[in-house]
Structure 1
Amino acid sequence: MPDPIALGIIGYGIMGERLLRAALAHAGESVRPVGVWDPSPGAAARLPEGVPMLDSAAAVIAACDCLYIAAPPAAHVPLAEAALAAGKAVFLEKPLATDLAEARGFVARAEAAGARAAVNFPMASSPAVRQLAAWQRDLVPARLAIEVGFATWPRGWQQDAAGWLARRAEGGFTREVVSHFLFLTRRRLGPLALEEASVTYPPGDGAETAIRARLTAGGVPVELSGGVGTTAKDDTNAWVLNDAIRLRDWSIAERRGADGAWAPAPDALPNERMRPLVLRDQLAGVAAMTRGQPHHLATLREALEVQEVVEAVLAAR
């Protein structure tokens, strides 16, 4: 078995910490964390023992084989290009950038150079999604509905990042949450094409509070809706194909029975228990990608297609 790849992390907020702890607890055969950098004074105090807080982003890039970028979106492209220029692989959070032109240019340059790069859409590694794929073999896709809802935005556990997540420029639930379901739709049904959309914004520079859209995926009609204040839960979501199979609340694969009731897959797990399994397989993909081997992770091109739809929805009037 090859040695684990050296993983560096820039951005030690919620996602950076979540991935690091998954790497230490579940993916030691795939990755070896070698250092983190975050400008927040409190970040170092949250690091697990044995993982150093390095003194700069450049130091993390120099130390790693693959750089995981979990910084706010405006930093994604500059950090990714610095790592790629240094001969390192890159694993990015979405969105690729806050500006579509910047994202398109980055993807074009990376593809032309044959860069080793992927994007962290965890549904690429979800056992629940694999179950949906197995059930889908018995269906002819005819219609899809995607619905997301939130008690507040940002969600309760994201308040430390509200400075950008709550703002229109980089944040909002369409970028942060809906993008995952658009990626799933692209993987399961085919290329996305937006037909019409509407968006509601609060006064000032706050992120959206509601969206509605019609699109197609591989020619299949898709209805998308989402809103803040529509549920008492932190968040709730459903991806429903043909009103016959669905993914509910991130990780529960369900199929409608002959009696009309939804029944979960026998191995269904709530998201907090599913997440470690998903991140373990994501990190196995990161190791394969870094070694130049085939992998199942979201490509830059897939992430760009998702971002183009997201930004078109957010620009609707």
Structure 2
Amino acid sequence: MPAPTALGIIGFGIMGERLLRAALGQATDFVRPIGVWDPSPAAAARLAEAPPGVPMLASAEAVIEACECLYVAAPPAAHIPLAEAALAAGKAVFLEKPLATDLAAARAFVARAEATGARAAVNFPMASSPAIAQLSAWRAGLTPEALAIQVAFARWPRGWQQEAAGWLSRRAEGGFTREVVSHFLFLTRRQLGPLALLDATVSYPPGDASETAITARLTAGGTPVTLTGGVGTTAQDDHNTWVLNDSIRIRDWSFAERRGPGGGPGGWAAAPDALPNERMRPLVLRGQLAGVAAMTRGEAHPLATLREALEVQEIVEAILAAPQSSGSPT
């Protein structure tokens, strides 16, 4: 087996810490974390409490110099500058989404990266999810007729994201459409084909806060898609469904379910190996980090491409720029 890939991490919030713990726990045969950089004292304190051996380096430049692949988990405005610095240094890049806060900048970045054959991918974990693999197996031979996507939140940001509320709750970089709906649009693109937005509405509160509700109609490879999302529409921190032909679905990120005998409410029966998201996540992250190692070596991998991420971001930003729904504050 090849030597583990030297992985650097910039941005040590929730996502950076999750990936580091997965790298040190489930994926030691694929990656070797060599250092972290984050200017926040709170991030330094969290790193000190993590499994030992991974230092907080002095700068972003120090992390880039030391790694073979850079994981960018900083807020979105920093994604492209950090990615381009790493690519210019000959390193591979694994980015959080969205690619950028500016769509034109994202398009230009992807064009440059593709033209130079950059080794780069985006962290849409459904690319490595066992639940999605089960969904794909069930979908074989099924003619797509209609897809319904629903996301709901008790509050936004979610309870576990409150430390990042400063940007996650603002229109410029945050909101649940960028953070959550994008995952389901990526899944839809992978499963059904290219996305096209037909129409959408969005609701915003006064000020610069992020959206509180969206509706949209799309097509994916010609299949009709309906999308709804809202804050304060569930008692759960986070509830979501992706339902194809009203016969197979993904529920709450990790439950692959289909209608059939012995099903629970609504006749839905979960796959025998279904796990709640907190138990599925380590398996998914191990798969993602295996992909990171393969991508860094220039090998085939399942990770989301920059082009896929850009196509998702195009739809997301179009939804967010849609007309305000009736009665929504301007």
Q: Secondary structure, in 3 states, of the residue corresponding to 1:42?
A: helix
Deviation digits for residues 260-314 of structure 1 (CA, Å, limit 9, x no counterpart): 6000000000000000000000000000000000111000000000000000000
Counterpart of 1:250, as a letter, is W
Q: 1:277 aligns with which of 283, 308, 311?
A: 283
Deviation digits for residues 65-88 of structure 1 (CA, Å, limit 9, x no counterpart): 000000000000000000000000
Deviation digits for residues 198-244 of structure 1 (CA, Å, limit 9, x no counterpart): 00000000000000000000000000000000001101000000000
Indicate the residue corresponding to 1:34 in structure 2.
Answer: 34
Deviation digits for residues 68-113 of structure 1 (CA, Å, limit 9, x no counterpart): 0000000000000000000000000000000000000000000000
Q: Secondary structure, in 3 states, of the residue corresponding to 2:57?
A: coil
Counterpart of 1:288, as a letter, is A
Indicate the residue corresponding to 1:310 in structure 2.
Answer: 316
Shift of residue 138 of structure 1?
A: 3.3
Indicate the residue corresponding to 1:25 in structure 2.
Answer: 25
Indicate the residue corresponding to 1:76 in structure 2.
Answer: 79
Structure 2: which 5+ runs fail to align?
Answer: 324-330
Deviation digits for residues 149-205 of structure 1 (CA, Å, limit 9, x no counterpart): 000000000000000000000000000000000000000000000000000000000
- 1:6 & 1:12 partners in 2: Cα distance? 17
Structure 1: which 5+ runs fail to align?
Answer: none
- 2:181 & 2:291 partners in 1: Cα distance? 23
Shift of residue 46 of structure 1?
A: 1.4
Q: How well do the aligned residues superpose, as a CA RMSD in angstroms?
A: 0.7
Counterpart of 1:157, as a letter, is W
Percent identical among aligned pairs is: 80
Matched, 1:10 2:13: no
Indicate the residue corresponding to 2:271 in structure 1.
Answer: 265
- 1:182 & 1:175 partners in 2: Cα distance? 10
Residue range with higher mean Cα deviation, 43-52 or 111-120: 43-52
- 1:273 & 1:138 partners in 2: Cα distance? 30
Matched, 1:171 2:199: no
- 1:44 & 1:228 partners in 2: Cα distance? 32
- 2:260 & 2:43 partners in 1: Cα distance? 48
Counterpart of 1:67, as a letter, is L
Q: 1:242 aligns with which of 219, 240, 245?
A: 245
Indicate the residue corresponding to 1:216 in structure 2.
Answer: 219
Counterpart of 1:24, as a letter, is L
Indicate the residue corresponding to 1:201 in structure 2.
Answer: 204
Counterpart of 2:9, as a letter, is I
Q: 1:125 aligns with which of 128, 135, 147?
A: 128
Q: Secondary structure, in 3 states, of the residue corresponding to 2:41?
A: coil
- 2:135 & 2:283 partners in 1: Cα distance? 17
- 1:255 & 1:142 partners in 2: Cα distance? 16
Matched, 1:93 2:96: yes
Indicate the residue corresponding to 2:300 in structure 1.
Answer: 294
Q: Secondary structure, in 3 states, of the residue corresponding to 2:3?
A: coil
Residue range with higher mean Cα deviation, 250-259 or 6-15: 250-259
Q: Secondary structure, in 3 states, of the residue corresponding to 2:219?
A: strand
- 1:256 & 1:98 partners in 2: Cα distance? 40
- 2:197 & 2:260 partners in 1: Cα distance? 32
Counterpart of 1:275, as a letter, is R
TM-score (norm 2): 0.95
- 1:249 & 1:302 partners in 2: Cα distance? 23
Indicate the residue corresponding to 1:137 in structure 2.
Answer: 140
- 2:237 & 2:19 partners in 1: Cα distance? 21
Q: Secondary structure, in 3 states, of the residue corresponding to 2:6?
A: strand
Q: Secondary structure, in 3 states, of the residue corresponding to 1:43?
A: helix
Q: Secondary structure, in 3 states, of the residue corresponding to 1:62?
A: helix
- 1:43 & 1:188 partners in 2: Cα distance? 37
For 1:51-70, list aligned pairs within 5 A: 51-70=54-73
- 1:75 & 1:25 partners in 2: Cα distance? 28
Aligned length: 317
- 1:38 & 1:135 partners in 2: Cα distance? 42
**Runs of 4+ deviating beyond 3 Å:** none
Indicate the residue corresponding to 1:252 in structure 2.
Answer: 255
Q: Secondary structure, in 3 states, of the residue corresponding to 1:163?
A: helix
Matched, 1:115 2:121: no
Shift of residue 43 of structure 1?
A: 1.3
Counterpart of 2:202, as a letter, is V
